[in-house]
Amino acid sequence: MRLHVIGLGGAGGRIVDRLAADHGHERFLHGINAFDTDAAALDALRSVDESRRYRFGDAADGSGLDGDLHAARRLGDAHASELGRAMDDENPSVAEAFVLVVGLGGGAGAGAAPALAEELSRLYDAPVYAVGLLPTPAESGTSAGSGESAESAVDRTDAARGSAPESEDREPRRPLAEKNAARTLDALSDRCAALFPFDNDAWLRPGETLRDGRGRLNEVVAERVAALFGAGDSGEAESTPQQVLDASDIARAVGDDGEIAAVGHATQAVDPPESGSRFGLGLFGSDEPAEVDASAAVSAIETTIRKAARGKSTVEVPEGRADRTLLVVGGPPAWLNRQAIADGRRWLAEETGSGAILSGDAPEPDGEAVFAVVLRSGIDEPARVRELRESIA
């Protein structure tokens, strides 16, 4: 499918920069932009072409907004049409979906995202999705004791360390991050077809700070976006899927009501077939199956599907349940055992309780791993999202 991805604000810009670095050569990435009020943050990007970076909001004087969501909303409303025009030379009218990537707890990106989503929905028929990074409790100071404000928690910690309030060796102070995230989630759910939250806190390792883990987390987000939206779009004639995954399949899976969706992903390295057809195991009707042991192929597919379903998703899926589920299985064609994929789909239907299961395959002739993507939509509200909403209750 043809995907146009827009990174908004500092966090969104860093993630699309990683996406461009890792997947910029792939066909699914039809267009890419980074928009921010902070000139220095845009200049720090390395893989998004300079012509695709755009600073907006002269009122911000080229700097960030320090988490001021109200000011950012005003700028977003004032500049949404301008941002839409900044994408014109990338032919956005032929995109099959738009994805806005934004740190929900920030200012510039979180403020501008709802207005840009509304503008893109007005101009084009393609769905607009939002990938939103949830702030960690530590960013707002909410991990402090009950009744203690974010500011006092930070000051107390700094005093204990003997450091100044803006010490470089700790988390940045963003006392409004959770409230910003809650308000932005609400605004985006009204304007986007679906929301893909990414829970930063759940993905941090024990003792790891967001500052330390940022690069790794950005890689995970970029990988999940590419795995879902780029599956089966290699463009190689010999890799034509048997069950083609297209933009309409994703649209049916996630819906169009601004519901929360979660993405699970898993891979398992496999050995290439020693000889015979690259199309093996009868998946594409080959008369000369490659020498891949059927039991090994079945095991690899079963393992990746279960890991993608039960492993860590972009956001918690309460009890693993979902109204709608999409399964994509990919890898070297010789390893894509048709019966194993069908069995995996039936297992996933029982696992999620979904009344609707969609699926597709994504053959990669030069691939070195079998992979599975499990997309679940219409899930119960994750605990972290509920905590954020309660911050403004």
Place of tokens 């609707």: 356
Provide the residue-wise pLDDT of the chain in tens; the chain has 393 residues: 899 999 999 999 999 999 999 999 999 999 999 999 999 999 999 999 999 999 998 766 555 566 678 888 888 899 999 999 999 999 999 999 999 999 999 888 999 999 999 999 999 999 999 999 999 999 877 654 333 333 333 333 333 333 333 344 455 667 889 999 999 999 999 999 999 999 999 999 999 999 999 999 999 999 999 999 998 675 555 566 677 788 999 999 999 999 999 999 999 999 877 644 444 444 544 445 457 899 999 999 999 999 999 999 999 999 999 999 999 999 999 999 999 999 999 999 999 999 889 999 999 988 999 999 999 999 999 999 999 999 987
Q: Where are the alpha helices (DSSP H) in 24-149?
A: 39-43, 69-85, 108-123, 137-140
Name the DSSP class of 170: S
The bridge status of strand 194-199 relative to strand 3-8 is unpaired
Binding site residues, as ranges?
139, 200, 218
The bridge status of strand 356-363 relative to strand 324-331 is parallel
The architecture (CATH level 2) of 3-135+174-230 comes to: 3-Layer(aba) Sandwich (3.40)
Q: What is the pLDDT of residue 170?
A: 52
Cβ-based burial of 64 (10 A; exposed 0-12, middle 13-18, buried ≥19): buried
In whole angstroms, how far apart are CA 127 and each of 189, 198, 263? 13, 20, 18
- Which residues make Cβ contacts (< 8 Å) with residue 77, sequence separation at least 6? 115
Place of tokens 């107390």: 156
Sign of CA dihedral 137, 139, 143, 145: negative
Binding site residues for GTP, as ranges?
139, 200, 218
Q: What is the pLDDT of residue 162?
A: 37
Name the DSSP class of 382: P
Q: What is the pLDDT of residue 179?
A: 93
The rounded distance, in Å, linking the Cα atoms of 75 and 371 is 41
Q: Are 140 and 176 in contact (CB under 8 A)?
A: yes
Say whether 96 sits in a helix, a strand or coil. Answer: coil
Q: Describe the strand order of the beta sheet including 194-199 as a list of residue ranges.
A: 53-55, 29-36, 3-8, 97-103, 128-134, 194-199, 259-269, 369-377, 324-331, 356-363
For 179, phi and psi rounded to 5 degrees? Answer: -65, -40
Cβ-based burial of 221 (10 A; exposed 0-12, middle 13-18, buried ≥19): buried
Q: Are 28 and 230 in contact (CB under 8 A)?
A: yes
> How many helices (DSSP H) and strands (DSSP E) are in the chain?
13, 10
The rounded distance, in Å, linking the Cα atoms of 230 and 267 is 15
Q: Where are the domains of the chain?
A: 3-135+174-230, 262-377
Place of tokens 């590419």: 226
CATH of domain 262-377: 3.30.1330.20
